[in-house]
Structures are given as structure tokens and as C-alpha cells.
């Protein structure tokens, strides 16, 4: 609900029935403006999920925007702020999506308290990436980061050994998939592929449910065309090539007026 309210304020839209228990929510958007906005989940709700709904909208704003987002920076069942900074952001920039992050304070479950300032820069339109998402390169170094949220009660904390084991297992699974994009980046790039001008290709492992859902919604809202080819079905390994013909959505704020004859 915090994310929907933020988007409604960004575009001066009319948001109705955005409350706990609603079966239907309606948003009638207006033109995306510019300025400074604040969104606070009031809990450890994910700041990165707020970014997922807001930053793509600001690509088509009239000028730079500043978002002060409050909540959780490192939460379960959501992208980590470090992943957003180190993985998603560099890939998004290949499409022409530019934003800056300032992590003022980290926030963890259950209290939250994190704060991130996002400065977003408008784009005239995103460009397709036909090759950037299919060339995985060679793994030459592996390192990790570990954060401690303080003294947590036993029912919340996780033994360090279990955390490390889970991280290594995920890394090995991603490396053996044969893809250039891991399971967490898949769905986050679908909207950018749909809005970009031209054909984008993504080499990845099996599509996650999140990715399948993102493709379904992107088709409904943008009419972008997606196709999937299974190119490797070795035992224990499945690699897919996802192709999208983007619609080339443009930022009307940054288009020069047509010359009069």
C-alpha cells in the first residue's frame, strides 16, 4: 500500500480502495511530475520493493526526482539493498535507466528504521540490450558480505553456519544454470525489456514464478511481445533464452516539439 500511495503521488493520480482487506484497487494516473517525495512503510517493509514500483515511473518524469524511502534495507523475501546497488543498478544502466543511491541507515526485521535516498534522472526512452544479458563472462573471484543486525531473539536469528551454507548453495546453483542472469534478476528486468525500444535477449535458468508473472503483466499493460526458447535440457540443468520486442515507450516531457510547416 505504501508503494501504491507513492506512485499515486508521483503522478498526481487518483487512488481508490487502497486499504487492508480490499479486493480491488483502482489507480487513475496523471502525468509524472518531479520533485521530492517521502515514503515510510512504518515497519521493516522493503525499501527495495518501493524502488521497484517508483523508479521505473520516474524515468518518464519531467526532471530529476528525489525519493526518501524508509523501512527495511535487508529483508527476507525481497531484494537486498546491496543486490540492488551492485547487481540490478549496473544492468539497469545498460537500458538507459540511471539513478543514484545513498544508504543513510540500514534497517532490519522486525523494527526497520532504514533510510535510503534515491535520486532518479529522467530518460527520453530506454534502449534494448540484445547482447548484454546473454554474455556471462568468466568467474574469476568470489567474495561475500556479512551484516549483523545486533542481538536478536532466538526465534528471529539464524545461525551463521546456516546462512553461509544457504548462500553458497544459491551461488553454486546460479553458476551451474548456464545463464547470464540469476533467478533474482530475471523478473526485475522484465519491465525494462518491455519498455525499451528494440529486441532484448536474456539468457537464464528456468523462469521463476515471479518472472512468469512479470511477463504476463507486462504483456497486458504494454503489449510487448515475449518468446521463450529452451536451449539446454541436460540432466539437472535447464537454460532458457527469453526474447522481448520492446514497445519503445518515450518520455513526452523530453521530446522536442515538431516544427511547424
The CA distance from 109 to 221, in Å, is 34
- Burial of 18 from C-beta contacts in 10 A (0-12 / 13-18 / 19+): middle
The CA distance from 106 to 233, in Å, is 41
The CA distance from 45 to 140, in Å, is 35
Active-site residue among 17, 121, 155, 210?
210
CA atoms within 13 A on the CB side of 225: 4
User: 185: which 3 cell numbers?
Assistant: 534478476
Strands 14-16 and 35-40: unpaired
Strand partners of residue 46: 72
Q: What angle do CA 184, 185, 190 make, to 5 degrees?
A: 120
* Max intra-chain CA distance, the chain: 74
Residues present in the chain in total: 261
> Cis ω on the peptide bond leading into residue 110 (within 30° of 0)?
yes
The CA distance from 146 to 102, in Å, is 19
Strand partners of residue 245: 199, 225
Residue 210 catalytic? yes
Give catalytic residues, as residue numbers. Answer: 210
Amino acid at each position: 500500500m505504501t508503494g501504491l500511495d507513492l506512485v499515486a503521488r508521483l503522478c498526481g493520480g487518483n487512488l481508490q480502495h487502497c486499504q487492508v482487506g480490499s479486493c480491488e484497487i483502482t489507480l487513475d494516473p496523471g502525468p509524472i511530475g518531479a520533485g521530492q517525495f517521502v515514503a515510510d512503510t512504518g515497519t521493516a517493509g522493503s525499501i527495495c520493493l518501493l524502488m521497484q514500483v517508483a523508479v521505473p515511473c520516474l524515468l518518464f518524469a519531467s526532471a530529476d526526482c528525489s525519493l526518501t524511502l524508509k523501512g527495511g534495507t535487508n529483508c527476507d523475501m525481497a531484494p537486498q539493498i546491496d543486490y540492488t546497488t551492485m547487481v540490478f543498478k549496473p544492468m539497469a544502466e545498460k537500458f538507459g535507466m540511471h539513478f543514484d543511491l545513498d544508504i543513510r541507515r540500514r534497517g532490519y526485521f522486525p523494527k526497520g528504521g532504514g533510510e535510503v535516498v534515491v535520486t532518479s534522472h529522467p530518460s527520453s526512452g530506454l534502449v534494448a540490450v540484445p547482447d548484454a544479458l546473454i554474455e556471462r563472462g568468466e568467474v574469476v573471484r568470489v567474495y561475500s558480505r556479512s551484516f549483523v543486525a545486533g542481538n536478536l531473539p532466538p526465534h528471529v536469528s539464524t545461525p551463521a553456519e546456516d546462512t553461509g551454507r544457504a548462500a553458497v548453495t544459491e551461488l553454486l546453483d546460479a553458476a551451474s544454470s548456464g545463464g547470464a542472469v540469476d533467478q533474482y534478476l530475471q523478473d526485475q528486468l522484465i519491465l525494462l525489456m518491455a519498455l525499451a525500444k528494440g529486441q532484448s535477449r536474456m539468457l537464464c535458468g528456468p523462469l521463476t514464478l515471479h518472472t512468469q508473472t512479470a511477463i504476463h503483466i507486462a504483456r497486458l499493460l504494454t503489449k510487448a511481445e515475449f518468446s521463450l526458447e529452451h536451449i539446454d535440457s541436460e540432466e539437472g540443468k535447464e537454460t532458457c533464452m527469453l526474447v522481448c520486442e520492446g514497445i519503445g515507450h518515450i518520455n513526452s516531457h523530453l521530446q522536442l516539439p515538431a516544427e511547424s510547416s
